[in-house]
Amino acid sequence: MDGRVRIAAAADAPEVARLLNDFRIHLDKQRPGVEEILASVQRILSEDSGEFLLAGEDGGPPAGVCQLRYRWSVWTSSEDCWLEDLFVSEQQRGGGLGEALVEAAIERAAARGCRRVELDVYEHDEAPRSLYRKLGFSADSKGRERSLLLGLDPARPGA
């Protein structure tokens, strides 16, 4: 793992929450609030199904975060890794922290025996799409046909 990246411990929950809150602001989302984010981070850190990676330069405060979630797959008879969130603060972009975080995520997934690392990315967001392509991600990783990520809010069926 790149020396700038480390696995977040329980004591890092406020730093992880701070960065995820910055990501929420970057995405122009109103919710969740920082306290709700912190509670979610603490919950994820207390379980074995997820972890966070933190990245920073020269011993300074973390400037990047990556959330990894793990789930068992019938199709691969192993865990899959879902790279759920990746964020680098605006002041630190372009310095390789995002790439270091993704490479560390791939290493962590391999160490757990995962056979797939998957993620979603906004179609119009070329910078992260370019990074993911550079590191070997593709839209047809499940076979000859592209797989689309669909979603539903169960509290609002049919909405």
- Model confidence over 90-146: pLDDT tens digits? 999 999 999 999 999 999 999 999 999 999 998 888 888 999 999 999 876 666 667
In three state form, how does the secondary structure of 102-157 look? HHHHHHHHHHCCCCEEEECCCCCCHHHHHHHHHCCCCCCCCCCCCCCCCCCCCCCC
Rounded Cα gap, residues 93 and 23, in angstroms: 13
- Total number of domains constituting the chain: 1
47 within a domain of the structure (yes/no): yes
150 within a domain of the structure (yes/no): no
Rounded Cα gap, residues 129 and 132, in angstroms: 5
Is the entire prediction scored with pTM above 0.75? Answer: yes
Percent of the chain residues past pLDDT 90, beyond the cut:
74
DSSP β-ladder status, 50-55 and 5-7: antiparallel
Count the neighbouring beta carbons within 10 Å of the beta carbon of residue 17.
Answer: 21
CATH of the domain at 45: 3.40.630.30
157 within a domain of the structure (yes/no): no
Q: Token pair 């179609």 is at which residue?
A: 123
159 pLDDT band, cuts 50/70/90, is: low
Rounded Cα gap, residues 21 and 23, in angstroms: 5
Domain that holds residue 45: 5-134
DSSP class of 62 = -
Rounded Cα gap, residues 118 and 80, in angstroms: 8
For position 60, what pLDDT does the model report? 82
143 within a domain of the structure (yes/no): no
116 within a domain of the structure (yes/no): yes
Q: Which two tokens stand for residue 40?
A: 């979610």
13 within a domain of the structure (yes/no): yes
146 within a domain of the structure (yes/no): no
